[in-house]
Every structure is written in structure tokens, then in C-alpha cells.
Amino acid sequence: MKISEEERNAVYKTIFSRRDVRSDFTGEEIPENVLKRILTAAHHAPSVGFMQPWDFIVVNDSLTKQKIKRGFDQANLASKAMFSEVKQTQYQQFKLEGILEAPIGICVTCDRERNGPVVLGKTVKAEMDLYSAVCAIQNLWLAARAENLGVGWVSIIEDDILRKALNIPANIEIIAYLCVGYVSQFKDKPELESAGWLPRRAVEKAIHYNKWSEEQGQQ
């Protein structure tokens, strides 16, 4: 099956207009079939040894969201203190989550023991299962963008908070908590770029030929 030019352009449009969304959720409900589509897209991600180590916990209960939000607030305060004073002033202006505003949260987990102790492709680098779960998140993120749904990744939260709030067993790794919902806008650029926190690195600096090149590998 060949991808047509129009379809190709749609894929790139989706990739380049995807954003991490925190502040522009409208609160509109996500229809069941749309949610199922983005979760199915996530489930069709590549995975080491076809291990499919992920699970998706959909959170739509407001008391549960409140517990998670309190966990974020705590962790965010501690995180802010790690930056220099100048950066702290800027840091506290950022909105780094949309836990209560987004109609649903999706916690993505990784079962590192799924399909037994020896997994094809994971025999040398054991962390390949974690990377596979992250592939599922990227699929979900892009599928969501194609559905005009925003996604915001919340990583400033202790695993214990999510584990307790969502009843996640001790042997299951927590990869991400995602806020998902319709949004009033997708910004043109990452908020951290617009705010001058960090610039986008030129793609040419990230590309090396045949060997690591210091000149190109620099900032």
C-alpha cells in the first residue's frame, strides 16, 4: 500500500502541529469511539519482541484527579527549588499540567515481566521495554493531534502518588500521566521556546554522518 502525497502531507502536518498542552482544555467530553481510536493507535506501536508491555488507565473520576493534582503541586514546589533564583521566577509562571481541566487523564504503564523473563530483543539492553511504552505514547500523542485532541505529559509527580491513587501494583512501572482533551488552540511553538526557556536546536546539529562529530554535536 502506497501513501499518497496528500496523506503524507497530513502525517507531517500532524507531527509539526502536535503540542504539549496544559492550559487550553475546553472541557468538552471525548466520545468513546474517539478515545478507543487513540488508544488503539497507541496499542499498535512497535515494541521489543512484540512484547506490548503497556497498559492504559483512563482516569475520569474527579476525586482521583484531585489526588493526582495535589501530588503534582507538592512535587512542583520541590522541583522549582532545584533551579537558580532567576530560573525559579520564570519556572513559577509556567503552567505545567492540566490535570483537573482535561476531561480525562491516561496513565501509561509498563509491565516489565510481560511474556516471561527472556524477551527477544531485550537480552542486551533491558530497558527496551520502557522505550516501547514510550513509542505507544508517541503514537497516542500523534493520533490525538489528528483527532484535534490535545495531550499534556505530566512527569512532575512521584510514582507513589499515582500508584496509590490508581491502584497500580508494585511490579508495574509507571511511564506517564497524560492529560487529554479538546483544546481551544494548538500553539505554533512549544511554550518553553516562546518563553525563552530554551531554543529549538537546529536539526543540522543533531545529524551526524559516519561518526560523532563534536562540531555538529554541540548546542
Q: Which of 106, 107, 156, 183 binds ligand FMN (CB under 6 A)?
A: 156
Shortest Å distance, C-beta 184 to ligand FMN: 15
Is there a contact between 155 and 72 (Cβ–Cβ < 8 Å)? no
Does the protein bind ligand FMN through residue 155 (CB under 6 A)? yes
Does the protein bind ligand FMN through residue 22 (CB under 6 A)? yes
Does the protein bind ligand FMN through residue 19 (CB under 6 A)? yes
DSSP annotation string for 34-101: HHHHHHHHHHTS--GGG---EEEEEE--HHHHHHHHHHHHHHHHHHHTTS-HHHHHHHTT-----TTT
Shortest Å distance, C-beta 96 to ligand FMN: 4
Distance of CA 95 to the CA centre of its chain: 16
Q: Which of 96, 128, 179, 180 binds ligand FMN (CB under 6 A)?
A: 96
Among 6-14, 19-27, 82-90, 207-215, the segment contacting ligand FMN (CB under 6 A): 19-27
Among 146, 165, 142, 172, which Cα is nearest to 59's?
165
Q: How many residues bind ligand FMN (CB under 6 A)?
A: 11
Chain residues binding ligand FMN by CB under 6 A are 19-20, 22, 96-97, 153-156, 190, 192
